[in-house]
Structure 1
Amino acid sequence: MQIKNFKIDQNLKELTPHRTVVLPIACYETTINQNIHGYIPLHWHDEIQFVLMVKGESVFQVNEERIVVKEGDGLFINSGCLHKAEEVNQPGSMYICLNVSPHFVLSPELYTTYVYPYVQATNLPCIYLDHHVTWAKNSLEAITQIHQLIHQKPSFYEITITMKMTSIWKNLILNGFQLEHEQTEVVKSLRMKQMLNWIHEHYGEKVKLDDIAKAGQLSRSECCRYFKKILKKSPVNYVTEYRIQQSLILLQQEDSNVTEVAYQVGFNSTSYFIDTFRKSMKMTPLTYKRKAAKI
């Protein structure tokens, strides 16, 4: 299954159900440029995520860190961490994405000791899985096997998946990860999500820097520093990009027109919307709408 349009709420939390019929787990192939945005937009979810790059390479941003994941390698992304993905050079980059509820990793009796401290750690937003390293290679092979099991559904495949998830998790926690819980990091993450939440609720209105900063309980300058450090862009640029993202969804509706969409997503000028859209998507809104209608 390829998720082509991420459903995200105002907090950037992904709304896509991450489970099979019987297990709180989902595993599917993702071709980045087939997403509605042309990339995987910024989002987060409660599930932990494992990525295995099967074609090309991609740059993942996890919280403040940017990591290029090469073909054959992978990435562990912790619960609750903001992340996005874009192609690097080669079009058609594809990865296997394994999303798992932390509560599924181990039994309730072991969860408190061997899972909860790790998903709550502030120093473990992600871990690179290099296939040249034995323990990481074993984990990446297990991800491939889980992907096959979910699609082929042989006898007792649910038990086999459970065993392989235990093996993957044991590999992670046995390889020297020092846990940290810094309250300042927890507060920083919360404030960033509060500011993004405010933008996603009010992007169709006139957005002021003062209002964004207020949502995060920060000064204007500190608000700008948060965005620059974590998202590598200014609050204004983020608002503009988010408006363009939302316009893609509206433009796919048969009865929509460019002018109405421009004002719905917060632009006060159709010409400025068209110009901004062209710079972002390398085509006009009308061209995009016509292409979307043919898919």
Structure 2
Amino acid sequence: MQIKNFKIGQNLKELTDHRTVVLPVACYETTIHQNIHGYIPLHWHDELQFVRMVQGEASFQINEEKLIVRQGDGLFINSGCLHMAEELNESGCVYICLNVSPDFVVSPELYATYVAPYIQATNLPYLYIDPNTSWGKNILDAVWNIHQWLQQKPPYFEIDMTLNLALIWKNLVMNGFQLEHDPMEAAKNRRMKEMLSWIDTHYAEKVTLDEIARAGRLSRSECCRYFKRMLNTTPLNYVIDYRIQKSLVLLQQTDSNVTEVAYKVGFNSTSYFIERFRKLKKVTPLAYKKLKMDGGSIPANKG
């Protein structure tokens, strides 16, 4: 199963219910360029995420850090961390993504000792999983097993899945990563989410830098530093890009037109919307709409 349009809530928390009917686990095969945006947009979720790269290569950003993950590699993304991904070099990037509730990787009696310290650590937004190490191979093999079981549903697969989830977590813990908790770092992450949440609520209105900064309880200059460090953009440019993201779904509605969409997402000038859309997506809004109506695709480019 592929999620092509992330449903993201008010504070950029992904709204997808990552679970089967019975278990709080989900496993997807993701082809990045098939996403409605052409890349995986910025979001976060409570679930722990394990990635196994099947084909190609991608650049992942987790909080303010970036790394490249290539075929055969793996990646752990911690609960609550902002992240996004884009394909590199038109490599046809495909990866398996396993999402699991932190409450489910070990028994409740072991949670406080073996899970809580890891999801509360501020120096562990992600962990590169090296397939050439024994612990890394064990994790990636278990991710593959879970992916296969969820597709094939053999007898007792739920029990096998729970055993493999415990194995995944044991190998991650045995890696010996030294955990740290910095209250200031935790506060930065929280304030960034608060500003992004405010933008999600108000993007269709007139938005000022002062309002964004106020949402994060920051000065204007501090607000700009946060966005530069974590997203490599300015707050107001982020708003413009976010409006264009929101326009993609509207443009695919058969009865929509470019002018209506421009105003719905917060632009007060159709020509400026077209200009910024073309800069970001490399096509005009009308060309994008026609391509999508015809079942075509556009270049996977976010800026």
Normalised by the size of structure 2, how large is the TM-score? 0.96
Matched, 1:271 2:271: yes
> 1:200 is matched with which residue?
200
Counterpart mapping for 1:32-111 below 5 A: 32-111=32-111
CA distance in 1, matches of 2:294, 2:17: 28
Q: Distance in 1 between matches of 2:138 and 2:179?
A: 23
- Tell me which amino acid in the other structure corresponds to 2:224: C
Separation in structure 1 between the aligned mates of residue 70 and residue 92 of structure 2, nearest angstrom: 14
Aligned length: 295
Which residue in 2 is equivalent to 1:149? 149
**Deviation of residue 237 (structure 1)?**
1.4
Preserved contact between residue 246 and residue 265 of structure 2 (Cα < 8 Å): yes
Could you say which residue in structure 2 is the equivalent of 1:226?
A: 226
Aligned to 1:31: 31
Asked if 1:139 is matched to 2:139, the reply is yes
RMSD, aligned CA: 0.8
How far apart, in 2, do the equivalents of 1:59 and 1:133 lie? 22
- Report percent identity of matched pairs: 68
Match of 1:20 in 2: 20
| Counterpart contact for 2:54–2:71, Cα < 8 Å | yes
Deviations 1:80-121 (A, max 9, x none): 000000011134211000000001101111111111111111
Q: Which residue of 2 aligns with 1:188?
A: 188
Separation (CA, whole Å) in 2 of partners of 1:21 and 1:288: 37
Equivalent residue letter for 1:270:
T
**Does the 8 Å contact 2:57/2:91 carry over to 1?**
no
Aligned to 1:84, the other structure's residue is in SS state strand
Superposed, which structure 2 residues align to 1:250-265 within 5 Å?
Answer: 250-265=250-265
Task: Structure 1: give runs of 5+ residues left out of the alignment.
Answer: none
Alignment of 1:169-184 (within 5 A): 169-184=169-184
Q: Deviation above 4 Å: which 4+ runs of structure 1?
A: none
Q: Normalization by structure 1: what TM-score?
A: 0.99
Shift of 1:18: 0.2
Secondary structure (helix, strand or coil) at the match of 2:84 reads: strand
Distance 1:194 1:138 in 2: 37
- In structure 1, what residue type is equivalent to 2:292? A
Report the CA distance between 1:263 and its aligned residue.
0.8
